[in-house]
Structure 1
């Protein structure tokens, strides 16, 4: 029997695949002998150069410390793997829940009632290790829970907030639609009054947590008043509601964003959020979330700088640590300067919020400027790591991709 060249090639490939598949997994420490991957040990914090801790209260420092320890221990070893798979690490939910930070600034109903600075630094510390997990909390707490806490009835608060605060009930918040992102006030999803409740019809897109959430807070236009209202819908046993995961993302891959389709979905009267009656209520909620997004970006930049600082001290080129070369020092200095300015800007807006003086403009400027500085900082970090700057083992490549959607939204 004559074997043609393509068959020979197939045979070689099959043989090679068989032999390679029997090889033991490569030890990461052997692959990177000069540097410690973030997946084996997350770097210590070197990015708080102006001692931001000194501006925090003892309570805020304690929050920062416990969240940092949890993120480095529980998230750092696994998030690169889950990012690659675009899956969510559900096993970390009870560990994050035990930190008692999920409800942020909400008071009562089993919520911690943190000050805004405490909630911000907690979110930043999670984002420092993995921004997707911080986005999971932001959507759950600063959008869904906050909507119920600010505008819900007493019965709704008693019913939903205690289990949400413990992360025993997971929430999602559905505003954006396929045709309306920045122009969210023009949303088309409708809520029509019927006997005993409301019928929701429409589509939502980019809805974080939606594929596995227990409940969704859905924003829809009241067909009678033409105003935007909010509705709480338990996802389990919800005829007409489907949430389909958005695939092929290159950033925030751990976040389970979904396309949500609403076809003749019934919501009882008691689950319409009574105090949410206009798009201005949406803007109020978004202003607080924008401030928290700014702190996510602070966390991203800190984690990247911390990784670069350790990496360049460990890795040697031309017989000396890479950190000794002026061109690398200049980039590190630029990154570090950015971070100090970002922290101080974010902290000042938190002060304004606590004093009742924060405006939507304050929050928007902080979000816009801080995310742009984070984007620059992360890009410099990717340069500094060279080839290893595109490996998720060293955290920076993942953060580089994740910073893009944070900047965008």
Structure 2
């Protein structure tokens, strides 16, 4: 039977790289005429299979691996071209400016102030506050921005959440027009830094009715006394939103306290195991005098405070997604490169099982917060919507970072591989903006009609 020309070409291709010396050594081990006769009898399909086998075993071609991408359902594909461009702009900033220095600052527990002008240039602070400078975007886009920042570093995302969310949000939602004009433009440009002082040394979850920081009206001024703890940005903020209980009507009210106000002092907190770049402080207010014009004019009870928390709690859920995505993508990239027993560890079944469970949780989190922000943009966000997202996403993030650390073995606890930071930071995210228990009771009250709060 005549051999096809294509068959001859493929047979020649198999042997064309063998020189005469190699051919001589090969003939001592195998019957070359018999091999050629056998190859000559193969059809095109058999020869193609032989070629694939030889190329695979010989390692002539490097296997092209899928890209590392935590957006498995392509939610980014639903964004407008402008929003997608902004997402990638933030990603490029985080990867080029923050990633190279983040571990150094994490170890030293200091803040990279040199990055503030470049962060300001992104024009992303206060993007949902209409009329006060900067680009205008949706809550969905703000959430995606938060995720992109947290995907590289959760501390920077927390700074962004305090500045753009809690501090600016308090003024935007509850301040007078004069207060908005005084503070919001400069805060949007990061020329003025804000902080949010609600939590106290002995009062966290019980802030609704148990604040020990007091405010006493005295003519056109208020006298504040008490302490605040865990206050992000407190050590360098220009203005701090301080929440205190009015001793006359027992209601929670908000005050804008400038950093140089007499009676105000702050001490940096040390020895944190998580969010080490965030500059948390303990604030002491001792007969601190604040003018009536600096009281948030529309903050008259804790229900008003809760409006700010509801808005920003959605952002914390997005931050958890970013933390989880950063851990997953770092772990996936590691398993594609790290070899054991002569093979990338990503080729082993148990490693793939971990990765798939991580991705499943991450994808569920992403779709949840995407819909959460859609509700927020529609003006339909309720406390329970934000709370269930905070509960679910912070829980699943803990699981994802744990598995990321596991697939990396001992290297998972080294900062140079990044996952160790995500493991630590996930613990802080799990607790702040309402613990799992408190947020669960908010959801429980909504679905049963019964309040289980003490």
TM exceeding 0.5:
yes
Deviation of residue 112 (structure 1)? 2.8
Match of 2:181 among 142, 158, 174: 158
| Matching residue of 1:131 | 154
| Matching residue of 1:352 | 375
Deviation of residue 332 (structure 1)? 0.5
Q: Check conservation: 2:68, 2:332, Cα contact below 8 A.
A: no
Match of 2:398 among 372, 375, 397: 375
Q: Check conservation: 1:60, 1:117, Cα contact below 8 A.
A: no
Match of 2:258 among 222, 230, 234: 234
Unmatched 5+ stretches in structure 2: 1-66, 433-454
Deviation of residue 354 (structure 1)? 1.3
Bigger-Rg structure (1/2): 2
Q: Does 1:329 align with 2:339?
A: no
Match of 2:422 among 385, 389, 399: 399
Deviation of residue 205 (structure 1)? 0.5
| Matching residue of 2:135 | 112
Aligned residue runs from structure 1 range 84-95, under 5 A? 84-95=107-118
1:242 alignment partner, SS class: strand
Aligned residue runs from structure 1 range 198-237, under 5 A? 198-235=222-259, 237=260
Distance in 2 (CA, whole Å) between partners of 1:116 and 1:363 is 13
> What whole-Å deviation, never above 9, does each CA across 1:32-69 have from its counterpart, x for those lacking one?
xxxxxxxxxxxx75111111112222232122111101
Match of 1:362 among 385, 388, 391: 385
Runs of 4+ in 1 over 4 A off after TM superposition: none
| Coordinate RMSD, CA, aligned | 1.0
Distance in 2 (CA, whole Å) between partners of 1:80 and 1:131 is 12
Distance in 1 (CA, whole Å) between partners of 2:135 and 2:290 is 29
Match of 2:296 among 234, 258, 273: 273
The higher-RCO structure (CA 8 Å, 6+ apart) is 1
TM-score (norm 2): 0.79
Matched residues, number: 365
TM-score (norm 1): 0.88
Q: Does 1:74 align with 2:90?
A: no
| Matching residue of 2:10 | none
1:218 alignment partner, SS class: strand
1:108 alignment partner, SS class: coil
1:72 alignment partner, SS class: helix
Match of 1:190 among 214, 219, 225: 214
Q: Does 1:173 align with 2:196?
A: yes
> What whole-Å deviation, never above 9, does each CA across 1:197-234 have from its counterpart, x for those lacking one?
11110000110000111110100111222111110011
Q: Check conservation: 1:301, 1:374, Cα contact below 8 A.
A: yes
Q: Check conservation: 2:328, 2:358, Cα contact below 8 A.
A: yes
Q: Does 1:292 align with 2:319?
A: no
Distance in 1 (CA, whole Å) between partners of 2:258 and 2:282 is 17
| Matching residue of 2:21 | none
